[in-house]
Amino acid sequence: MLRSIRVSILLPFLIISIGLGVLAWRSYALSARLEDGVNALAMQYAGYAADITARRIDSAVRNGLFDASEEWQQLERKTPNPDSEMLSQWLRSNEWITSAIYVPDADPASSIFASEPAGGATDAARLTREFYTSSGLVRYTYDPARLVEHVRPVLHQQPLMQRSQSDPQAQLAIVATPQHHGEARLTDGFTYVAPLAPPLQGYAIKAFVRTAYGTSGWENARYFSIWVSVVALFLTALGALLAMRGLNREAETMKLRGALIANVSHELRTPLSMIRLGAETLKRSSKLTEKQRAEIEDAVLREVLHLSHMVENVLDVARIQNRSTKALAFTPVRPRDLVTALITTYESWITSRGFEVTVQTEEAVDEQLWDRDAVERAVLNLIDNAVKYSGDVKFIAIALRQSADHVVIEVRDRGIGIAAADLSRIFDPYYRAQFSDTQTRRGAGLGLTLVQQIMVSHGGRVEVESSPGIGSTFRLIFPRQRSQAAEPVPALNVLPEIGSRS
Amino acid sequence: MRIRTSHLVVAAVSLLVVSAYADDRKPKCTTPPAECERIIRQMLSGRRYLGVQLQELNPGLVVKSIVDDGPADRASLHPGDRFMAVNGKSTKDATIQDFKRILSDAKETGRLWIIVQREGLLKKIELRMEPYTKAQIDKIVAQHLAEAHSIASSAPPQP
Do both A137 and A271 map to the same domain?
no
Domain holding A378, by residue range, is 328-501
Residue A441 within any structural domain of the chain = yes
Do both A126 and A22 map to the same domain?
yes
Exposed/middle/buried for residue A466 (C-beta within 10 Å: 0-12, 13-18, 19+): buried
A21 in contact with B, Cβ within 8 Å? no
B126, B131, B136, B140: CA torsion to nearest 10: 130
Domain containing residue A89: CATH number: 3.30.450.250
Do both A482 and A412 map to the same domain?
yes
Do both A287 and A362 map to the same domain?
no
Beta-carbon separation of B25 and A84 below 8 A: no
Residue in chain B lying closest to A107 (CA): B67
Q: List all residues 6 or more positions away from A458 whose beta carbon is below 8 Å from its beta carbon.
A: A370, A371, A374, A375, A478, A479
CB-CB neighbors (< 8 A) of A107 in chain B: 67
Q: Which of A100, A129, A148 is the last residue of a domain?
A: A148
Structural domain spans, chain B: 28-47+132-159, 50-131
Residue A99 within any structural domain of the chain = yes
pLDDT bracket for residue B28 (50, 70, 90): low
Residue A343 within any structural domain of the chain = yes
Q: DSSP class of residue A105?
A: S
Do both A394 and A332 map to the same domain?
yes
% of chain B residues with pLDDT over 70? 76
CB-CB neighbors (< 8 A) of B86 in chain A: none
CB-CB neighbors (< 8 A) of B54 in chain A: 105
Do both A251 and A364 map to the same domain?
no
Position A434 scores a pLDDT of: 59
Q: How far is CA A499 from the centre of its chain?
A: 53
Which fold would CATH assign to domain B50-131?
A: Pdz3 Domain (2.30.42)
For A118, the closest of B30, B132, B136 (CB atoms) is B30
Residue A195 within any structural domain of the chain = no
Residue A220 within any structural domain of the chain = no
pLDDT tens series, chain A, 502 aa: 567 777 888 888 899 989 988 988 888 888 888 888 888 888 888 898 899 999 999 999 999 999 999 999 899 888 878 888 888 889 889 988 888 888 888 887 788 888 877 655 556 678 888 888 888 889 898 888 888 998 998 888 777 766 766 667 788 888 887 677 888 888 778 889 999 988 888 899 999 888 765 556 666 777 788 888 889 889 999 999 998 888 888 888 888 777 767 766 777 777 788 888 888 888 887 777 888 888 888 888 888 887 887 787 777 777 666 655 555 777 888 888 888 888 887 777 778 778 888 888 887 778 888 888 788 888 888 888 888 777 777 888 888 888 888 888 888 888 787 877 777 777 776 666 655 555 556 666 677 877 887 888 788 888 888 888 788 888 889 888 775 544 444 444 434 433 333 3
Domain containing residue A446: CATH number: 3.30.565.10
Position A490 scores a pLDDT of: 43
Q: DSSP class of residue A35?
A: H
Do both A118 and A262 map to the same domain?
no
pLDDT bracket for residue B25 (50, 70, 90): very low
Residue A317 within any structural domain of the chain = no
Do both A298 and A333 map to the same domain?
no
The closest alpha carbon to A307, from A270, A336, A257, belongs to A270
Position A213 scores a pLDDT of: 59
Do both A256 and A353 map to the same domain?
no
Q: How far A126 CA sits from the closest chain B CA (Å)?
A: 11
The model's pLDDT over A222-273, given as tens digits with 9 standing for 90+, comes to 778 888 888 988 999 999 999 888 888 888 888 877 776 776 677 777 778 8
CB-CB neighbors (< 8 A) of B103 in chain A: 132
A362 in contact with B, Cβ within 8 Å? no
Do both A262 and A384 map to the same domain?
no
3-state secondary structure of A380: helix
pTM beyond 0.80? no
Do both A289 and A342 map to the same domain?
no
Do both A87 and A133 map to the same domain?
yes
The model's pLDDT over A291-311, given as tens digits with 9 standing for 90+, comes to 888 888 888 888 888 788 778
3-state secondary structure of A486: coil
The total number of structural domains that make up chain A: 3
Residue A239 within any structural domain of the chain = no
The model's pLDDT over A44-63, given as tens digits with 9 standing for 90+, comes to 888 988 999 999 999 999 99
